[in-house]
Structure 1
């Protein structure tokens, strides 16, 4: 990739005419916490990687992945769910190398597992290295299969059968000690698209291990997380980052987020989440609509950094223009300035690296 092409990828105004702005302290926050971010927009099919350039400016690297959804980071690796595939991107740099004099991680798509359009939402990797994802269309958790579209590994007890009907809108996954522990769904509906009539209430947090409903007092919940000694989630229909007591189901509001909040990760005492603007009246009938009106505010599209102790937003990214909806976010610790190469980009054909293990003679 040439320097000119690289600079184009870092531009804060993309070809879809979306302006990106950041809070004054955002670059300093990334640097102080030695971290970068990855977030996705399924609306425009883009993966964004955010870091800090050597000159101190914020870098936005954007690549196209059709209907980019769940994103999960491991050291040197990124997993991404898309329209009909799960992608695995690998950092092609060797220790000490820098790409284009600026990037300490250059992520290249090395594998795409085809699942078909099963509406993959959040995903993660278990302690055995197995990719686990939310198969929303079939109302289950699933993993990849070498032969078939997917292999189901769990479904809520209220789902009577696996069918491509998006019955309850299962959407979120929390891992604990390397195994799936919690899931979120918009309702306990067991009919095709039944969740759409239950958006304002009846959202559930489910203990995957016991099949118990931890709480059914949520509004369009997303992104459960077991972090620290607490269970966290996004009460998206209300616009809140919350904690939930796994014993009683009681919830506590931590911070209000100005938009439809989905995608959640944690780093150094901060929660990081994405917010979206409404689409086709999706806020209608939700408490979030009234909450924004009471605060005399408009919904955002962007990324929020929340101090969980104070319950306030300390830094942010805001997108204004063509991109109005985001889905997921992942933190990339110890990565200062990442970039990726798109699967359909011209650079993919010439970005070639060699595994330098010594070759052996045939038969040895």
Structure 2
């Protein structure tokens, strides 16, 4: 799908036949992608889709969509994209050689080359450590885990307040920040140690935890998500309040960077900007949060989309907005140096017919 340029309007628009969703982007998004030399990916677990956003040579914004059941956490490494799904961790590889183009316009073609089955452990965020291991947030079992060749997963860490591994989603562990290839911080909605205990603690008591020591850096958050280490601070999403926040990793002091009109998940930092996904709050889990009043006080309706936020000013400078069937997104990952990416889905004709190999020497 291609979003055509508009010389007179403030936005560019396209309709997605696959999802019944209309996508609208800010007029300057294409220029921002060009000036920062990046593209990005985002996921919707609601519809099980991976979206890749890039820029064609003509200057139009491109959206490429592929289906991955319950698509959630993303981790990009040059030439490779990891994706957490319903019961598998997917590894997608760029099949193009330097200088090659797919369909004469895409400079990256990501093909699913490996899917390791974990079972439904509610994989949230993931990253790669210094040993090249996939480390993921195993929300169902309240731990950080890695892949195992025999078993569903290998637990490597759990919060000190969790008494044992159990498939009970006790604290809703959901986000992990890597620094130097090491998981440094995690977020959880509460310190609950009973089955789904976090659901009664959505309004306050959300925690940022230092992995190495188990220390609670702060417990003053509401449904926190997606911690990231950047410039000596920890950025995170105070999702119950609709805010991007900066947290002092030593003292735990919290500073608001920006308010965003929706329930926040997914954070990726690039060129002085934060890319975040926002979702329309659904009844139940997201109801009755401070975010509701914050939106009312601004006479605003919640968004579903991706926002580009200037970290210095807190301004939302560019955006993608989804309207229609899709109302909830999950993760976002910038892909520096990639102009216009595409992917091939695992259960498609293209996956069966696209064959690549290195010739015999």
Q: TM-score, normalised by structure 2?
A: 0.96
Are 1:180 and 2:183 matched, yes or no? yes
Structure 1 position 280, deviation (Å): 1.9
Equivalent residue, structure 2, for 1:28: 31
How far apart, CA to CA, are the structure 2 residues paired with 1:40 and 1:226? Answer: 22
Distance in 1, matches of 2:18 and 2:172, equals 32
Contact persistence 1:283–1:289 (CA under 8 A) = no
Runs of 4+ in 1 over 6 A off after TM superposition: none
Distance, in Å, in 2 between the alignment partners of 1:24 and 1:339 is 22
- Partner in structure 2 of residue 79 of structure 1: 82
- For residues 19-58 of structure 1, what are the structure 2 equivalents within 5 Å? 19-58=22-61
Residues 19 and 7 from structure 1, CA distance in 2 versus in 1: closer, same or farther, beyond 3 angstroms?
closer
Structure 1: how far apart are the matches of 2:228 and 2:135?
15
The answer (yes or no) to whether the contact 1:105–1:339 under 8 Å persists in 2 is yes
Question: Counterpart in 2 of 1:243?
Answer: 246
Aligned to 2:92: 89
1:310 to 310, 313, 328: 313
Alpha carbons 1:237, 1:260 under 8 Å: kept:
yes
SS state of the match for residue 187, structure 2? strand
- Residues 9-58 of structure 1: CA deviation (Å, up to 9, x unaligned): x9642322100000010011001111001000000000000001111111
Partners of 1:269 and 1:191 lie apart in 2 by: 40
Paired with 1:353 and 1:225, the residues of 2 have a C-alpha distance of 36
Structure 2 residues without counterparts, runs of 5 or longer: 4-12
Instruction: For 1:81-160, list aligned pairs within 5 A.
Output: 81-160=84-163
1:227 to 224, 230, 253: 230
CA RMSD of aligned residues (A): 1.3
| TM-score (norm. length: structure 1) | 0.95
Name the CA distance, whole Å, in 2 between partners of 1:212 and 1:41: 32
Task: Provide Cα deviations, 1:255-302, integer angstroms capped at 9, x if missing partner.
Answer: 001000000011100010000001124432211000000000000000
**Residues 213-362 of structure 1 correspond to what in structure 2 (within 5 A)?**
213-356=216-359, 358=361
Give structure 1 stretches of 5+ with no counterpart.
1-5, 359-364
Which sits farther off after the overlay, 156-165 or 239-248? 239-248
Q: Does the residue aligned with 2:86 lie in a helix, a strand or coil?
A: coil
Looking at structure 1, the residues matched to 338 and 15 of structure 2 have their Cα atoms a distance apart, in angstroms, of 20
1:42–1:69: 8 Å Cα contact kept in structure 2? yes
Secondary structure of the 2:212 match is coil
Could you tell me how far 1:232 is from its partner in structure 2? 0.7
Show CA shifts across 1:113-154 (max 9, x none).
Answer: 000000000000011100000000000000000000000000
- Number of matched pairs: 352
Cα distance in 2 between the residues matched to 1:327 and 1:299:
15
Report the 3-state secondary structure (helix = DSSP H, G, I; strand = E; otherwise coil) of the residue aligned with 2:16. coil
Please say if residues 273 and 303 of structure 1, whose CA atoms lie closer than 8 Å, have aligned partners that are also in contact: yes
